[in-house]
Every structure is written in C-alpha cells, then in structure tokens.
A and B are shown apart, each in its own frame.
Chain A
Amino acid sequence: MTDHDPKTYLPLKPAAFYILLVLGDGALHGYAMMQEIVTITEDKIRLGPGTLYRTINQLLSDGLIEETDNAPSTQVDDDERRRYYQLTELGRHVARAELTYWSNLIALPQSQQLLGGAI
C-alpha cells in the first residue's frame, strides 16, 4: 500500500478531504466526523449519512482509512454498533499532500495580494 504515490489520489473530493482532516486528531465514528466537520467549517458543510458513508466506503477501499477497535474511552454513550475509523499511513500522507497543495496555493504572490497581507 505504502508504495502508492499520495499525489495520485489528489485532488481529493471535498467530502473525502474533510473526513481525512478531522481524523488527523485520532479515531472517530461517523456521527463524530460529521459534527467535527460542521465545527471546523463553521456550519457550512454538513455531510448527509449517504454522502458520509459512501465516502467512508471509498476511503476504506482506497486504503486511506481503516476500522479500529481502539475507540477513545472518553465516549460515554458508546453503542456497540458504532464503528471507529482512523487514518492509515497512506491516508496520512495523502492528507498531508492535499494540505501542502493548498498551502502552496496560499503562498503564491497572487494569493498574498488577494489576502492583502492579512496572513
């Protein structure tokens, strides 16, 4: 798996990118991913259950995420039907590559012009 070039997975679909992003902190279950995405995007992006699990399915079969039993113990209302997902090594590389791509865009002189030196 790891011999895949992360760049071949780019650009990621928005839904896939956000899921990889929120998993950067550790394993989450579906609903937690959804809520985390709502938080980081200031309620602009809400994935429906269909989109969420279609994307999870795709990411699993691409080997970017995997199921895990090491659920964070902080969850009180844990339901045994809940599955937790975490990044694989490859997923981590792909997420990093996508972020690097965006940060390179932000570093462009044009972007800096648009941002007006705000950053």
Chain B
Amino acid sequence: MQKPRILTLSQHVFGWLLYTYPAKFRHRYGAEMGLVFDACLSEAYTQAGLSGVIRLWWCTLGDFLVNVPAVYLSFEQEKKVMIRRTLESVLAVWLLLVCLPFFPLIAVLIKLDSDGPIFFCQERVGHRGKAYMLYKLRSMTVTSDPAQRQITRVGKILRPLKIDELPQLVNVLKGDMSFFGPRPPLPNEVDMDNPLWQRILANRPGLLPTIK
C-alpha cells in the first residue's frame, strides 16, 4: 500500500523541526525522536485519519516551540503555558513578517537623524528574576551622561506609535517576554528576596504592560 502523502510530508517537516534543537542534542536523540514521531504518526493515522494527524501536529508543535521551565509546573499548567507560548510565537512571527518591509526605511531614518546604533539593547529582569536583553529601536540620542539624552526627531514619531517597541517581538519569540504582563523592570528596581517582586515576576514581562 502506498503511504499517504500527509504522512511522508509530516515526516519531512518533523525532520526540519529537529534543527531547532542544539546540534549536540539533535545528534544524540534526533534519530530516536524521528522513530518515536513516526510511530505516533502511523498510530494517529490508523486510529483517526487526517484529524488524528492534525491533533498530533498540534501537540508536537507545542512541544517544540516551548522550552517549558517545568520544574514547578503541574501538567495542566504546563499545557496552558505551552498553548499560550505557541499562540504567542505564531502571532510574533506573523507581526514580524508584516513589519519587516518597513524596517529598512525606519533603520535608515534613525541612522540619518542622529549618531548611534539602530537598536537599543538594555538589560531587564524577566521571568523568575532571570535577566535578559530587551531590544528596542533607538529613539534617544547617545550621550555619556544619561541625563543629557534627548528624544530624537524620529523618536518623536516612533514613540507615540510604539513602533520603537516592535523589536521586542524577538524577545517574545525567544521566550523572554509575553504580549501581556508586568512592565519589564530594570535590574536596580528589582529585589527578588521581596515576595512582591517574586509574585510579579512569576509572570513573563509583557510587551503591553498590565497594571501590577
């Protein structure tokens, strides 16, 4: 019997997805993971046909996109985080693709308007107190004295429109941030020994800050 095309296609896609893992992990377990996926695939197909395959993909994608720090999570919570992260990653990729054509123009404008880099990177404190690099488009002048910094002309347009925040979609993809969550705090604001901060940073910081 000839294998249905959806099965061969699924196996190929799974093979590509394996490249999202670090090379060492992939070399060690890739072949085995392929075997497991194949077995699940034929089981799902025999039992429920196409809908079985779709359901399997839904679970598998969640499994891939999320690197769940599951130490303290129950299975139910883990599943919720997975679904949320899956949806957020899809939305972030989509938004990035939509905005991509405009980035070169904005980048040129920032460069022409004032001296300095296009991106502004700053360390912020994220989920469970873990520091990460937050990316923005630069909207202020670069000076050695922070008090002297001024909003650039381009910045005056970008800031109210929140366009300077768009690179944070990369932070969402990396799993540093969510769409909704607490405002990402600076390291000197945070005291992880304080239960209030522990509670705030039990969530990933958000692109669109919610009120604490």
Contact = CB atoms under 8 A, between A and B. Distances in A.
B63 A34 contact: no
Given A49-B40, A50-B63, A30 B32 contact: yes
B74 interface: yes
B105 to A, nearest CB: 38
B29 A82 contact: no
Interface string B66-83: 000011001100100000
A46 interface: yes
B37 A49 contact: yes
A112 B40 CA distance: 39
B39 to A, nearest CB: 5
B59 interface: yes
Nearest to A50: B63
Contact of A79 (B35, B60, B74, B78): B35
Is chain B's interface secondary structure helix, strand, loop, or mixed overall? helix
Interface in A33-47: 34, 45-46
Interface residues of A, number: 21
A30 B63 CA distance: 16
Given A13-B70, A31-B39, A82 B32 contact: yes
Contact of B62 (A14, A45, A48, A53): A48
Interface of B: 25, 28-29, 31-33, 35-37, 39-40, 59-60, 62-64, 70-71, 74-75, 78
17 contacts: A13-B70, A14-B78, A15-B70, A29-B32, A30-B35, A31-B35, A31-B39, A31-B40, A45-B75, A46-B59, A49-B60, A50-B60, A51-B63, A52-B36, A53-B33, A56-B29, A81-B35
